[in-house]
Amino acid sequence: MITKLRNLVWFLKRPHLMPQVWYLFIRKFRPGIVAMDSTGDEALRWCRQSEVDMVTAYRKLTNQEPPAPILDLYSDVFANAEKVTSACVVRMGGAGAVDMLYWISEYLQATRILETGVAYGWSSLAFLLSIEHRPEGKLVSVDMPYVGMNNDEHIGCAVPDSLRAQWTLLKTSDRQGVPAVLRKLGTLDICHYDSDKSYQGRMWAYPLLWNALRSGGIFVSDDIGDNVAFRDFCASLKIDPVVFKYNGKFVGMMTKP
Ligand SMILES: C[S@@+](CC[C@H](N)C(=O)[O-])C[C@H]1O[C@@H](n2cnc3c(N)ncnc32)[C@H](O)[C@@H]1O
């Protein structure tokens, strides 16, 4: 009860996030969809059936050999980001599959990328290191600060100032941010989903992001072993995704036909 009250106060201090409170409240009246959050075992079994290593995943998707790992290509940038994030006073979520994100951005020569979920900003850093060579390139990231924490100012701290010109960071929830970004950006080369991990959150956002992708664009979702949302979404599209493991978590990818 005390945590609930604390969280409510946290939201009241951030009135622009109040629609998220409404969404969380309404969720309580939909026990069926909330129960889908507990389908992790089934999701993990499904992921393991088609799991390949990351390099094989890249080859399957592109028919090409991947570039070098991003940490080898930009060791100074990552060493500096490591220093900044270690010194950060708040602890945030772990990194997405930065090598793969950089590789696919290079492969597509992407210029319009939307990602959900930033935390320290490792995935943002990977995309920005790729699009810095394309002046027209844009990354838009949507991230709601962690509920109950005061991490607002630290979101994206892994990204140095020198890479921020091509970056728009919206510190809001997916529900508010994603539709607004899609109206502005138009079609996308890459979508990376790494925010609301609930079944309901994913099943709301996945189709919106998928519809915004151009033909040949790449859809990536992190943590697909949390519940069966990614499996169900792929089944609804009749597409076999590429699945690989990164830092102990499963990542799913599909190219839009
Ligand atoms: C795992 S972290 C993202 C890590 C990041 N992609 C990286 O590679 O460093 C997940 C982030 O999603 C945010 N998040 C969770 N629920 C959200 C929601 N409904 N809308 C927007 N962001 C949300 C969390 O606050 C957190 O910052």
For range 103-131, the mean pLDDT: 98
pLDDT at 1 over 90: no
Distance CA 1, CA 8 (A): 11
Residue ranges of alpha helices (H) inside the chain are 2-12, 18-27, 31-35, 40-50, 54-62, 70-73, 75-87, 98-108, 122-131, 174-185, 199-212, 229-237
With beta carbons less than 8 A apart as the criterion, state whether 145 and 171 touch.
yes
pLDDT at 222 over 90: yes
What's the CA-to-centroid distance between 63 and ligand 1, angstroms? Answer: 31
- Cβ of 195 less than 6 Å from ligand 1: yes
pLDDT at 186 over 90: no
Q: Residue 217, SS3?
A: strand
CATH number at residue 183: 3.40.50.150
pLDDT digits (tens, 9 = 90+) for 60-73: 999 999 999 999 99
Number of domains forming the structure of the chain: 1
Distance CA 210, CA 188 (A): 9
Q: Residue 161, SS3?
A: helix
Answer whether residue 207 is part of any domain.
yes
- Cβ of 223 less than 6 Å from ligand 1: no
- pLDDT for res 140: 98
Answer whether residue 236 is part of any domain.
yes
- pLDDT for res 120: 97
For range 117-135, the mean pLDDT: 97
Answer whether residue 54 is part of any domain.
yes
- Cβ of 123 less than 6 Å from ligand 1: yes
Cut 0.95: pTM above it: yes
Answer whether residue 173 is part of any domain.
yes
Answer whether residue 30 is part of any domain.
no
Answer whether residue 232 is part of any domain.
yes
What's the CA-to-centroid distance between 197 and ligand 1, angstroms? Answer: 9
Which residues constitute the domain of residue 160? 40-255
Answer whether residue 200 is part of any domain.
yes
What's the CA-to-centroid distance between 200 and ligand 1, angstroms? Answer: 15
Answer whether residue 28 is part of any domain.
no
- pLDDT for res 78: 98
- Residue 4 confidence class, pLDDT cut points 50, 70, 90: confident
Q: Which ligand 1 atom is at minimum distance from the Cα of 123?
A: 8
